[in-house]
Chains A and B, each alone.
Chain A
Amino acid sequence: MIAGLTGLWTTLRWLFKRPVTAHYPEQHLPVQERYMGFPALLWDETADEPFCTGCMVCVRECPTQCMSAQMHDNPRFTDGASHRRKIIETFEINLNRCILCGICVDVCAFDAIEMSHEHELASYGRAGARADLDLLLAGGRHYQEETSWVPLNAEKNVAGVALAKKAAAAAAKSAAGPPASPAPEGSDGAEVDA
């Protein structure tokens, strides 16, 4: 008798508490700040181009080989608008294969790839899970807008900072003495010591 009443009391108590479940399609729980969703490519505002140079290190280090990338010469490098000699041309991630391990983010030396908060990419066909460069960059821009993402190594990787540093170094050099010769063409921003 008493046991039965105790049981009913427990049931009654829970009846008036807030449910712990969330009804998913109507109600979205926020993800945590470090949440690792699908990878996305980030956008360098200072040069108006992606951070990614297409160095392929993430393609090689991916445990599931879900990526492919191609680079080409960066036309903006010759204009002096960017310090990146090479820039990404095509990039494709097969999100069906991606296991969201974050190894690509760890190995990237250019702060170009990041695990976004995006985790809802249902599509009607198998090809829908193939993220191309435009989709990856859109995801990256969305990620940069909604979080306070800062590049790990801004001095080396953000075009505006790297170019300013290079210009300052050149100015200091010319002020110190007559320039023997202009800086050799081989030293681009990627070699600036961090």
Chain B
Amino acid sequence: MQRPGTTEQQHDTVDMMLNMGPQHPATHGVFRMVLTLDGERVVEVVPHIGYLHRGSEKLCETESYAQVVTLFDRLDYVANLNNELAFCRAAERLMDVDVPERAQYIRVALCELNRLASHLLFLGTYAIDLGAMTPIMYGFRERERIQNLFESVTGARMMHNFIRIGGVKEDVPADFVPRTRAVLEDVRKGVDEIDRLLTFNEVFLARTKGVGVIDAATAISCGLTGPSLRGSGVAYDVRKDDPYEIYRYLGFEVPVGAAGDCWDRYYVRLLECYQSIDLVVQCLDQMEPGPTMTQRRRIARPPKGEVYVHCENPRGDMGVFLVSDGTDKPYRVKVRPPSFCNLVALRPMMRGEYIADAVAILGSIDIVLGEVDR
């Protein structure tokens, strides 16, 4: 089109729609976002979810309380034990059951190990999102040690079904404590290695510093939780602010970031790896012999009522709202999955950023689609 009075060709620019996913390797599962682009800048992002929807919440209503634990294993499939703990605590609160102290120590030790495994997976996949090949090898190598440890304790590598309502399935094997200490030694070296390789790497800094910035107020209003929120400088951690199990006996600091960019979210997770190692060591030191299960009831039948319980999962604040009508099956189970709620913050993070950074920003909030879609 030629404007009157000029000789130049003037073009009307239109925004471009770009579809990313659901089969994109960097979306960590079957996640689809529709990006609106102005040149290289992202104007708008619309997440589309539901590709992995299995109806877990509805399925919970048809299963007995003991069977529901197996469904919770499959929500956040990178941190299974943390999910089990959230549901079991909800059911225990309804039934007013006190869990023996040793069982609580075992639970916390295993959950922290699982957080460690989950964060190691994040460190590896985040690096590979940004084009670094090596850290994922290191991450998986260290994660493998933890998986082997889980196999020797729970009998399974991923879907454990180990934390039960009223305790844990069985006591840890006799060599658990020395074995875990040895594993943690190795893992600490492995995390050191990733840290040295990645954290202050020039290319990595260029890709993550100042990218996807979200300030504390926006982060809170979006409902962001977990390491992603702490990256913005808000020291909110359920383990500290609403202590459950035996976290009140453990000393730890909550690492927080400052800028709220991708690098801070990455670095908070890296520091949490060290924090989890320390927490497990404290658990092993304080653990004392004792029963690992309250008196065993074949059928859990909580009284009528409702309860909301939340736990700190590797990805954030995991909440379980449980309604019982007095039968052996839950009347309603509502999950507040941290990944799903964290996705809300995707839009304020991504607006105005380059399209090339879309993967870096999505990777930095570390979603797991099994939990988003349920």
Contact = CB atoms under 8 A, between A and B. Distances in A.
B219 to A, nearest CB: 35
Interface string B131-154: 000000000010010001001111
A127 interface: no
A33 interface: yes
A103 B151 contact: no
Contact of A101 (B64, B141, B152, B161): B161
Contacts of B71: 63
Contacts of A101: 70, 159, 161
A103 B152 CA distance: 18
**B interface secondary structure, majority:** helix
Contacts of B159: 99-101
B155 A102 contact: yes
B151 A31 contact: yes
A168 B298 CA distance: 32
Nearest to B157: A35
The range of chain A's interface size is: 10 to 19
B67 interface: yes
B191 to A, nearest CB: 16
A103 B151 CA distance: 17
Interface of A: 20, 31-36, 61, 63, 99-103, 106-107, 115
A32 B70 contact: no
Given A63-B70, A115-B155, A107 B161 contact: no
B66 interface: yes
Interface in B204-237: none
A107 B66 CA distance: 11
Given A61-B66, A100-B159, A102-B161, A33 B141 contact: no
A100 B156 contact: yes
A108 B161 CA distance: 17
Contacts of B169: 102, 106
Contacts of A102: 155, 161, 169
**A interface secondary structure, majority:** loop
B144 A32 contact: no
Closest 10 A-B residue pairs measured CB to CB? A36-B155, A63-B67, A32-B152, A34-B155, A101-B161, A32-B151, A101-B70, A63-B70, A20-B141, A36-B156
Nearest to B144: A20
A31 B147 CA distance: 12
A7 to B, nearest CB: 9
Interface string B155-176: 1100101000000010001000
A112 B310 CA distance: 38
Contacts of B144: 20
Given A20-B141, A32-B151, A34-B152, A107 B70 contact: no
B113 to A, nearest CB: 15
5 contacts: A32-B155, A35-B151, A100-B156, A102-B155, A103-B67
Given A32-B152, A33-B152, A115-B155, 17 more contacts: A20-B141, A32-B155, A33-B173, A34-B152, A35-B155, A36-B156, A61-B64, A63-B63, A63-B67, A99-B70, A99-B159, A100-B156, A101-B159, A101-B161, A102-B155, A103-B70, A107-B298
A61 B64 CA distance: 8
A100 B155 CA distance: 10
Nearest to B137: A20
Contacts of A31: 151
A30 to B, nearest CB: 11
Nearest to A29: B148
A63 B148 CA distance: 26
Contacts of A107: 298
Contacts of A33: 152, 173
A61 B67 CA distance: 8
A20 B140 CA distance: 10
A102 B173 CA distance: 17
Contacts of B64: 61
A14 B144 CA distance: 18
B54 to A, nearest CB: 13
Contacts of A34: 151-155, 173
A174 B360 CA distance: 83
